[in-house]
Amino acid sequence: MSLRQERAQEVIRAYSPALFRLFARYLDRYFASNFTAIRILEPGFPGLDPGRPAIFFGNHVGWWDPILYLLLSARLLPERRSFGPIDAGALDKYRFLRRIGLFPVEQESRRGAVDFLMTSKLVLAEPGTCLWLTPQGRFSDVRERPVVFKAGLAHLAREMPDAQLVPVAVEYPFWTERRPEVLVHFGPVIEVSAHPDLETEDWHALLEGQLTGAMDRLAVAATARDETAFRKLMTGRVGVSPVYDAWRWVRAKLSRRHFSPAHKD
């Protein structure tokens, strides 16, 4: 076994299902205290073949994204072990992240790209696993066009003929409450087997286009602010401030009305 293969196997051995579940419970509380809700645009989470590897690839809005993916995987894919790359320097600072499925990648180097492909393929070869990626490789505004990827995902798609790929669009807009929303849209599943003749450059263009389409559809829904277009995955905190909400509560009680801390009510 080569050194690269040994390092990839270590990623799998380091994963702790118990620690992942514990961290996911913490994330439930953390997101609930910082956001109004987590909403998934209809038609919701796509159906996937449980016996095949799945790769989720999304736009990279900010530092919330990796932990949002952990929460989504815990809520939507409890039967799978979820993994994802993270900058090697960041992982050195937070080594416990190795125990919940994150593995180091040296960005902007050929060695890092080769390590990413090796680790990703070995992880996905394990039964009941999936991979979450932000192929832009940097923070990018949701309105930035064109959406441009690093090369790794296209190479991975070519080498994983049984894989299912899912674009994931994410936004964190403010609607009517003091805290922002988490909006997620899962685009149509891309069957790698349906594109056996695509070259790497063609995969690159296809995947960028699919994520762009998912982001555009989510942008329209986010602008409309229509809650009925979404499924609520989690309810967070609503209200303006303790003092103002207390005054609203008193007014509601005096007028014999139901009180809701939501700003729109």
Q: Whose structure tokens read 């891309």?
A: 190
Residue pair 95/106 in contact (Cβ under 8 Å)? The answer is: no
Residue with tokens 């600072």: 93
What pLDDT sits at residue 251? Answer: 53
Contact 208, 161 (CB under 8 A): no
Query: Would you state the structure tokens that stand for residue 233, as one six-digit string?
Result: 């995955």
Task: Give the pLDDT score at 261.
Answer: 54
- Residue by residue, pLDDT tens for the chain (265 residues) are 576 677 778 888 999 999 999 999 999 999 999 999 999 999 999 999 999 999 999 999 999 999 999 999 999 999 999 999 988 777 777 788 899 999 988 877 777 788 899 999 999 999 999 999 999 989 999 999 999 999 899 999 999 999 999 999 999 999 999 899 999 999 999 999 999 899 999 999 999 999 999 999 999 999 999 999 999 999 997 655 454 444 444 454 455 565 355 546 5
Give the Å distances, CA to CA, from 91 to 67, 110, 164.
14, 19, 27
- 43 phi-psi bin (left φ>0, alpha ψ -120 to 50, beta other): alpha
Q: What is the DSSP track for 6-18?
A: HHHHHHHHH--HH
Residues 6 or more apart whose CB falls under 8 angstroms from that of 220 comprise none
What is the reported pLDDT for 3? Answer: 64
Q: Are 100 and 23 in contact (CB under 8 A)?
A: yes
CA Rg, the chain, in Å?
20
Domains and CATH numbers, the chain: 3-238 (3.40.1130.10)
| Residues 60, 54: Cα–Cα separation, whole Å | 19
- Residue 62: predicted pLDDT: 93
pTM of this prediction exceeds 0.75: yes
